[in-house]
Amino acid sequence: MPEKDVEWERLVNDIRNCTRCPLHRFRKKPVPGEGSLDSAVMFLGEAPGRSEDEAGRPFVGAAGRLLNELLNLAGLDRGEVFITNVVKCRPPNNRDPRSEEVAACSVHTNRIIGLVRPRVIVTLGNHAGRYIFERFSKMRWLGIKAMRGRVYRLNVLNDSVVVIATYHPAAALYNPQLKGELEEDFKVLLRRAIKLGSTLKQPTLLDFMGR
């Protein structure tokens, strides 16, 4: 089995056995994430909901159906991207994840990012946006309205990564006005981000030796 698959199995197992935060007590199934481990594009959502908790897979409910449509707008297929969340277990009654839960789960989040090493990260919603920007840049997270519409370049775990921040698909289900903006972000911005991401030079072993 390729080394990446072995590490992914280890990671899934660690998430299954994780008791770092109270959310493990409420979950039916943890939701580590899914997709291609070689994907250039990673989507980071918030937390599993009821359908995801039952399936053990991310974005399989109503928000997931919209995400699939949005992916098509960007010319992407679900199987060629990687999708995960800032917390891997469902919060009770779908409440927002707490900052200490996001922090506890960051061990897994960062291992996933470090394994896939995407060139583009798309944050969906405030929790994912805050996590990436506050953890991997000196920028303060100012909310989606202020942060969206731009392509950022951040250093994420020693890789130069193109980041875009957009709304959570669930927000567009409640507020159809946001749907147009989300579609625009996928159709225009994400396509631009993927192009830019493919030109980024990633550090090689020689770069590390020269440091």
Report the interface residues with ligand URA, using CB under 6 A. 31, 45-49, 52, 58-59, 63, 85, 170
> Residue 86 or residue 163: which is nearer to ligand URA going by CB?
86
Per DSSP, the chain holds a count of helices (H) and strands (E) of 10, 6
> Residue 59 or residue 133: which is nearer to ligand URA going by CB?
59
Give the helix ranges, DSSP H, for the chain: 3-16, 50-55, 62-73, 99-116, 126-136, 144-147, 169-174, 176-184, 191-199, 205-210
Q: For residues 160 and 115, what is the distance between their CA atoms, to the nearest angstrom?
A: 15
> Residue 85 or residue 166: which is nearer to ligand URA going by CB?
85
Find the distance separating the first CA and the last CA of the chain, reported in whole Å.
Answer: 33
> Residue 147 or residue 170: which is nearer to ligand URA going by CB?
170
> Residue 46 or residue 181: which is nearer to ligand URA going by CB?
46
Q: How far is CA 198 from the centre of its chain?
A: 19
DSSP structure class, residue 17: T
Residue whose Cβ sits closest to ligand URA: 45
> Residue 16 or residue 153: which is nearer to ligand URA going by CB?
16
Instruction: State the minimum distance, in angstroms, from the CB of residue 74 to ligand URA.
Output: 18
Instruction: State the minimum distance, in angstroms, from the CB of residue 98 to ligand URA.
Output: 15
Structure tokens at 77: 């297929």
Q: What type of residue is 111? A: R
Instruction: State the minimum distance, in angstroms, from the CB of residue 170 to ligand URA.
Output: 6
Is residue 188 a contact partner of residue 146, using CB atoms and an 8 Å limit?
no
Give the closest residue to 4 by CA, choosing from 86, 104, 117: 117
Instruction: State the minimum distance, in angstroms, from the CB of residue 27 to ligand URA.
Output: 12
Residue 137 makes CB contacts below 8 A (sequence gap 6+) with 152, 154, 155
